[in-house]
Amino acid sequence: MEEFLDRPLPGLEYHREAVAKQASVDSVVARAEVAERLRQRRIEAEVDRLEQEIADFGEDDYAEGDVVKFTKQFVPGGKAYLYAAIKANDAWYTTGPKSPKGYSWDEFVLWLIGGEGYDNWKVLEQR
CA distance 1 to 20: 31
pLDDT digits (tens, 9 = 90+) for 12-58: 676 677 777 777 778 877 888 888 998 899 889 888 887 887 788 78
pLDDT digits (tens, 9 = 90+) for 81-102: 888 899 999 999 988 877 767 8
Task: Quote the pTM value.
Answer: 0.57
Angle at 54 between CA 48 and CA 56, to 5 degrees: 100
Provide the pLDDT for residue 5. Answer: 56
The neighbour count for residue 49, using CB atoms within 10 Å, is 11
Name the most confidently modeled range: 5-9, 52-56, 88-92, 104-108. Answer: 88-92
Q: Please, which pLDDT band fits residue 7 given cuts at 50, 70 and 90?
A: low
In this structure, what are the phi and psi dihedrals at residue 36, rounded to the nearest 5 degrees? -65, -40
List beta partners, residue 81: 72
